[in-house]
Structure formats: structure tokens, C-alpha cells
Structure 1
Amino acid sequence: MDTLMNIVQSVLNMGASVMLPIIIFILGVVFKVKPTKALLSGITVGIGMIGINLVINLLTTSVGPAAQAMVERFGLNLTVIDGGWPAIAAGTWAQPISALMIPIILVVNLIMLALNWTKTLNIDIWNYWHMSAAAATVYIVTGNLILGVIAGIAYTVFVQILADKTAPAVQEYYGLEGIAFSTGSTAGYAVLGIPIGWVISRIPGIRDIDVNPETIQKRFGIFGEPMVMGILIGGVLAALGGYDISGILQMGMTMGAVMLLMPRMVKILMEGLIPIQEGAQKLLKDRYGDREIYLGMDAALATGSPSALATGLLMVPITLFLAVILPGNRVLPFGDLATIPFFVGMIVPSRKGNILHSVLTCTVVMVFALLMATDYAPVLTQMAEGVVAFPEGAAQISNFDTGGNILNWIFLKLAQLWNGIF
């Protein structure tokens, strides 16, 4: 198991910018794309991923301090700290079951493809940790390795099916031909967000209000430009954090840059994926007729949409406000605030980019997420103990990516129910 863990960790340590080109090249050869074209595709995807990560880092290093400043300014005092997805991911990989789950998840995906139970080939191996987190949760709670593996497999199957179901809307709205989002956290938020959004979009007085960059631009001109929207939202976040005028302007410009640069980075990545997607579709058509295949990718690609980014950024102060007023909540939002745009990746297309409907939907979803994250805290604390340094003053840690994800929370409850019965 230690050897397997070391191998898995070595692969993961290479990072997406190295491993994705290798995976894309191998897939290109399998799908009978010319080797030189497959190599160029892989390199282009790797460069696109580097660009996306640079912009994401710009986003998180700006929003994180602003959120912390809001916490300090408004004197929020909650005992469970949102450690963010990196802390829980590290805790997940430290569990013995996680190394075992990587090949199992891949094999399950390939079996489902072979049996035509899914159209999605999940090449986003870095986000396999979401499935592994469900397996690790059940293993920690029950002490049963087999049950943990079964949980990880069940999680994988569900995410694959949901990726298939949401792929048409994702492709149409984001312009990501042949792509499906196979990120576990995005799937979890979609489970609640899509039906809640459907209800909200039918409420009289709200259903007819359409707020998206296009309608804003038509009505308010320059204010509908994505970079101007970013500047305004960034300025508001900085002002809520108590920044001075210089800090407000800097934060505004940074968010404007994120809004402008992210779609361009996603476009570069997609240029590399197109030949592989075309090769896959041609091969499948020759062998199976009209059968489709989607490439399962990180929902970070959703941040190429101004509506998704705007929704995620607007949810930062809203989530902090909810944390204060919500009875029963003990989670202090922090680490995962900057990653909310990833969580809304399937919700925004279901609302056709309507920022108002998306924000209202996510506000309701976040109420559930805070309560689930509070309930999940003891297990996530145990998972992360000795692996990550806890923030000062934290009695426990949790997060939104896993703790506030209804898919992971269901497996937590099933594991606790198993213990209660057996």
C-alpha cells in the first residue's frame, strides 16, 4: 500500500500541466489522431491549464484576504474553520484507502464506457480525490475497507451519470464542445442547485427578471462588459473588507483582469482538446454508429463564463452573512470562498446564465451547505489531523467542497447508519 501511495503521489505531484499533455497524447494515439497532431494538442492543453491556474491563483489570492478582512471587520466568531479544499484533499490522500481508489475509479469509468453506461471519459485524475474522500469518510467512520471502496465506486457511478445528463447544457452554454464536468463538488452542488433553481425561476415577480451580461450591457452599456463587472464586484468585496481606496481600486482591477483573462485561457485549452474530441467521435462513429463520447474535465472551465464568475464572487459576502445568521451553523467560511465559482458550474447553465436566479439558487443551496459542513466537521477534522496545520483558534475544521457537498454528506450518514445497525 505504501508503494502504491508513493506511485500515486508521484503522479499527482507532476501537476495538471505535465500529466494532461501526456494523457491527451495517449488518447490522441488511441483515437487514431496523427502523433504529431496529438503531441501538439497535448502541449496546447498543458499551456492552457497553466494559464487557467495562473488566473485561478490570481483569483484565490485576492478573494481570500478580502474574505479574511471581512471576517475580522465584522467580528465573526465561529468554532469550525473552513479549511478549504486543499486541506481536506491532503487529508484524503493521507488515508490508506485513497491510493487504492485511483485505479479503481479509472477501471470503473472504463467498464461503464465499454458497457455504454456512460458517455464520459473522466481524464481529470486530480479531482478523483472527491470520490476518494467519500471512500475515506466511510472507511474512517466504519473501519471497513470494503464498504469504503463500495462508497467510492457508487460516488464515481453517480458523478459519471450526472456528467452525462448535464453535458448538453454545459456544452451549449459554455461553448465547450464534447466536454462534461466530472468534478465531484460541482456535481454535489448541482444535485441541490438544479431543482432549487427550477423552482426559483418559476416564482412570480422573479421568473421574468433576466440578469445576465448581455441584458446588463443592453440596458446599462459599458457596465455589462465582463471586465467592468469584475471591477465593480471586486471593488465591493474590497470595500466590505474595509480596504482603503487604493486597495479597492487594486482589487477591482484584479477581478476585472480575471473576468477578461479566464475565457481566453479556457479558449487555448479547448483548442488543444478539439482534435482529440474529433478523433474520438470519428472512431466511435466508424465502430458504433452515432455513439458520442465526452471528455470529463475540471469544472474550473466554468470560470470562463462571466455569469459563473459573477455568481461565485457575489456569493462570498452572502455566504459570510448566512454563516452569522443561520441557526445551528458553526462553520466560519474562509478557505473555499474563492472556489465557489467552481461549485456553480452546472447551476449557471441550468439558469441560462441568469445571474439573479443563480445567486438566489446558490443562496438557498449554501444554507444547506453550511449545516452539512457543520455536521461533517468531526470526521473531516479526524481526516486532516496530523496532515495539515489547523488555523489558529480552530476547534475543528470543515469545508464546502466536501463537508458542504450533499453527495459526500449522504455517504457520511449512510456510514453512521451502518454503525448504528451493526
Structure 2
Amino acid sequence: MIDYFLSLGSTVFVPIVLIIIGLILGQGILRSIRSGIMVGIGFIGLGLAISLISDRLEPAVNQIVERFSFNLTVIDIGSGAAAGVAFSTLVGALIIPAVFLLNILLLIVGFTKTMNIDIFNYSHYAFTGAVVHLITGSIVLGIGASLIQATWSLLSADYSAKKVQESLGVEGISIPQGYAASTVPLFTILEKIYNRIPFLRNSQLDISYLQGKIGMFGDPVIIGAVLGVILALLAGYNFVEGTNLLMSVVAIMVLFPRMVKIIVEGLLPISESAKSFFNKRFKGKEVFIGLDSAITLGLPTTQIVGTMLIPITLVLAVILPGNQVLPLGDLAFVAFFTCMATIIHNGNILKTIISGIINMIGVLYIASWFAPYFSKLSANSGGTSIKGQTTALWNGNVFDYIIAQIGGFGMIGLIVLIVITIPIGLYVKKVTNPKSAR
């Protein structure tokens, strides 16, 4: 049954869920169907844009790696393969109903405001639980670790929801996606630090500032063209290959915002219905629809910084002492790793690039630490035929790391994680409560 739902894909499953939500909220059958289908169309468009990254950027990245002969021993096989490994484990087989039921329970008791319908990214929780299961030998502890991470992701989504809504221009949504949610604490702490440094606090380096200062040179299309030229030169491409890569980079920067606008068009009626529904029946209680972080990729700062971080991450992989990971499968998708920095830093390019570099340093080290565990899980599932150790930048998730480290101590570790989670939840509830904010 789980395989059947996963086989539907986000372009079918998410619209079905949104249609059901629309009907529950009293939106009417035709409006609900239109909203759900519009979101599905947007996700199809995002998928086409993402396929450009896979088809055009990945070969360029592979060429750069091969050309400069990076000597690193652990291969990054990418998030798609990593998610497949996570879902193929025993914990992965149980995780979807377990997390879904937990989410409903936490909504009922008021511990979260987010209903996470991003089921395809439950794989992050499955991976953490599978590692704890591997360390302890207990499926109960593995499931417990997964549920802790799911809870942390929901709380992170609640905490960042208002900024997400302001950035995207749509109310009633949040981002509980397993990786993006894990970066919110880091980027929030860095934002507080930046605000104590005059140079960074006073920085106005965003897209509108660039366009105001340097005109068309600050336009995302022109910036995309420049970044395309840089990547083509690093890859050693000829004119034909280089111009094709350039056009692909620019197309990504143009298409992502367009597709996100279609998703927003579908979400806005649901958001308005939800607001009316909860105001009427629950005295204004907020409930957010938890979506994939892909909907944030239309922000120009994310696209610019994400592309800049491709060569920067390769340099970091080579120079960082103790790193073993050769970035490969996930390298072209670095924008996903920094998308929440754009939101937390209000689109500031300078802050986002600094935070992106700091985050990718952590990603490389954490992915290196997980390599032995991931390689064993992958071998058990028949997930890869690559000799030696494998991992994915996708594994470089700080929530995964903290929970796996503490959860590895067994039942004591799980109790410690529960004890940590309760005050975090109470804090998030306090700071996100409109009454307390006033």
C-alpha cells in the first residue's frame, strides 16, 4: 500500500490531498479540484525545471570533478538513490503511517500547527531511524528516533512559517521538509550573529539593490548567463556545450519562479478557505499546510547562491581536513541546501552565501560520518553496486546527526531526545503565538 501511494508521485498525490483538504474546508468541489490541479501543474513544471539541473548541470559537474581529478574516497550517490535506500529499510516500511499518525496527534494536542503532506520526504526520518536501528538493533528505538526527527521538522516549520509565507506571498503554508527544516536553527543563529556585525547588519545586497545599482547586470537572467559561463569554463566545454549549459542555467532561473507562481495560484484559495474555516470553528486557530522546500527555489537569491555554491563546495571538499566525500550526485542541487537561508536572511545575497558556505562545511563532515552506516544500509538493500563506501550530501542533515548520536545510546538516548523535544516545542509555541508576540 505504501509503495502504491509513493508510485503516484507528488504531482498526483499532493493534488489529491489538497482537493480533500479543500473539500473539508468548505471550498466547494470545483474550486477544490482547480486548486489541487493547479498545484499539481506547478509541481510538474518544477519537475521539468529540476530535470534541466539533472540533464545539463549534472554532466557539467561530473566533468569538473573528472577534469580536476579530485582524490576523495566516499562517493556521493545523490538524494534520489539515498531516499530509495532509506525507504527500503524496515523502518522505512513503517515510517509513513507512523509519522502521519504522530502528526495528527500533535495537531490535536496543539504541539504543532503544521500538517505535513510532503510524504515523499519522510525518507529523511526513515534514514535516521534506520541508522539508530543499525546501531542499537532495536526497531522500536529506530521508529522512536524517526518520530523525534519528524517532530523537530514540524516545530522548525512552525517557527519559520511566517517568514516562508512573507517570502512566497501566500498564507497558511510552512516547510517541514526533512532537510530544509534542519537548517532553520543554524541560519536563525547566524542571522542573530550577522545583526551584531555592522558590515553585515547594514548590508542591503539583494536582487532589488543590485538592479538599482548596476541595472540590467543585476537581472537574474544576466547573472545566470555569467554563472553559466563560469561553469562552462570550469568544465572545459567547447562553444556548443558551453552555450547549451549557459542557456540551461538561465532557463532554470526563469522557469523556477514561473512554476512557483502557478503553485501559489493554486494554494491561495485553499489558504483563504483555511483561514475562514479555523476562524469560524476554532476561534482563529492556525493550521499550516506543510510542503516541499522546492516551492522556495523560485527566489532569485536561492538560485544565484545555489549556483555559486557548486564550485565552492568542490573546493571545500578538497581543502577541508578530514572530509572524505566527493560531491557528485547532489552537487548540482545545492540550491536545496541553502533555500531556507534566503528566507531567514530576507533575500540578502551576502548573508546567504556566507551561511551557505558554513552549512556546506557541516554537510560534508556529517555526510562523511554517516558513510559507513549508509554503505551498510545500501548493501543490505542492494541499493548500489559501487565499490567502497558511499553516502549522499542529502545525508548531511544536522537533525539526522544529533538524533543518531544520542539515539545510539539506546532507551536512555531516546528518553533524552524526548526530554529535549518538549521544551523546544513549548518555546516554539510561545514565540509563534500571536498573543505572546504582541
The TM-score, its normalising length taken from structure 1, stands at 0.94
Residue identity opposite 1:361 in structure 2: S
C-alpha distance in structure 2 between counterparts of 1:420 and 1:331, whole Å: 32
Matched residue, 1:414: 406
Q: Residue 278 of structure 2 contacts residue 284 of structure 2 at CA under 8 Å; is this kept in 1?
A: yes
Residue identity opposite 1:317 in structure 2: P
- 1:56-81 residue CA offsets vs partner (Å, 9 max, x unmatched): 11123222111111111111011101
Q: 1:10 to 1:318 in 2, by over 3 A?
A: same
Instruction: Say which SS state the counterpart of residue 211 (structure 1) adopts.
Output: coil
Instruction: Say which SS state the counterpart of residue 417 (structure 1) adopts.
Output: coil
C-alpha distance in structure 2 between counterparts of 1:312 and 1:218, whole Å: 22
C-alpha distance in structure 2 between counterparts of 1:176 and 1:230, whole Å: 26
Instruction: Say which SS state the counterpart of residue 295 (structure 1) adopts.
Output: strand
Number of paired residues?
413
Question: What percent of counterpart residues are identical?
Answer: 35
- 1:98-119 residue CA offsets vs partner (Å, 9 max, x unmatched): 1211111111111111112211
Q: Tell me how far 1:151 sits from its aligned partner.
A: 0.7
Residue range with higher mean Cα deviation, 217-226 or 160-169: 217-226
Alignment of 1:6-85 (within 5 A): 7-85=1-79
C-alpha distance in structure 2 between counterparts of 1:157 and 1:26, whole Å: 24
Note the residue ranges of structure 2 that are not aligned, 5 or more in a row: 415-438
Q: Residue 136 of structure 2 contacts residue 409 of structure 2 at CA under 8 Å; is this kept in 1?
A: no
Q: 1:190 to 1:421 in 2, by over 3 A?
A: closer
Matched residue, 2:427: none
Matched residue, 1:295: 289
Q: Residue 160 of structure 2 contacts residue 184 of structure 2 at CA under 8 Å; is this kept in 1?
A: no
1:389 to 377, 381, 384: 384
C-alpha distance in structure 2 between counterparts of 1:419 and 1:242, whole Å: 53
Alignment of 1:103-182 (within 5 A): 103-182=97-176
Q: 1:281 to 1:387 in 2, by over 3 A?
A: farther
Q: Tell me how far 1:192 sits from its aligned partner.
A: 2.2
Matched residue, 1:372: 366
Matched residue, 1:251: 245
Q: Residue 190 of structure 1 contacts residue 344 of structure 1 at CA under 8 Å; is this kept in 2?
A: no
2:305 to 311, 316, 322: 311
Q: 1:278 to 1:420 in 2, by over 3 A?
A: closer
Q: Tell me how far 1:209 sits from its aligned partner.
A: 3.4
Matched residue, 1:196: 190
Residue identity opposite 1:51 in structure 2: G
Matched residue, 2:261: 267
- 1:326-382 residue CA offsets vs partner (Å, 9 max, x unmatched): 000000011111222122222111111111211111111211221111111000111
Instruction: Say which SS state the counterpart of residue 177 (structure 1) adopts.
Output: coil
Matched residue, 1:3: none
What is the aligned-residue RMSD (CA, Å)?
1.8
C-alpha distance in structure 2 between counterparts of 1:57 and 1:158, whole Å: 30
Matched residue, 2:428: none
Instruction: Say which SS state the counterpart of residue 188 (structure 1) adopts.
Output: helix
Q: Tell me how far 1:416 sits from its aligned partner.
A: 3.4
Q: Tell me how far 1:420 sits from its aligned partner.
A: 11
Q: Tell me how far 1:311 sits from its aligned partner.
A: 1.2
- 1:261-290 residue CA offsets vs partner (Å, 9 max, x unmatched): 111111111111222222222111111122
Q: Residue 172 of structure 2 contacts residue 275 of structure 2 at CA under 8 Å; is this kept in 1?
A: no
Q: Residue 313 of structure 2 contacts residue 357 of structure 2 at CA under 8 Å; is this kept in 1?
A: yes
Residue range with higher mean Cα deviation, 380-389 or 306-315: 380-389
Q: Which runs of 4+ in 1 moved over 3 A?
A: 200-209, 415-422
Residue range with higher mean Cα deviation, 79-88 or 228-237: 228-237
1:336 to 319, 330, 334: 330
Q: Tell me how far 1:200 sits from its aligned partner.
A: 3.8
Instruction: Say which SS state the counterpart of residue 409 (structure 2) adopts.
Output: helix
Q: Tell me how far 1:178 sits from its aligned partner.
A: 1.8
Matched residue, 2:436: none
Q: Tell me how far 1:186 sits from its aligned partner.
A: 0.7
Residue identity opposite 2:398 in structure 1: I
1:224 to 218, 225, 246: 218
C-alpha distance in structure 2 between counterparts of 1:261 and 1:16, whole Å: 19
Alignment of 1:342-353 (within 5 A): 342-353=336-347
C-alpha distance in structure 2 between counterparts of 1:170 and 1:233, whole Å: 27
C-alpha distance in structure 1 between counterparts of 2:268 and 2:236, whole Å: 45
Residue identity opposite 1:407 in structure 2: F
Instruction: Say which SS state the counterpart of residue 115 (structure 2) adopts.
Output: strand
Q: Tell me how far 1:196 sits from its aligned partner.
A: 2.6
Please state if 1:242 is matched with 2:236. yes
C-alpha distance in structure 2 between counterparts of 1:172 and 1:279, whole Å: 18
Matched residue, 1:400: 393
C-alpha distance in structure 2 between counterparts of 1:14 and 1:201, whole Å: 45
Q: Residue 97 of structure 1 contacts residue 136 of structure 1 at CA under 8 Å; is this kept in 2?
A: yes
Q: Residue 182 of structure 2 contacts residue 398 of structure 2 at CA under 8 Å; is this kept in 1?
A: yes
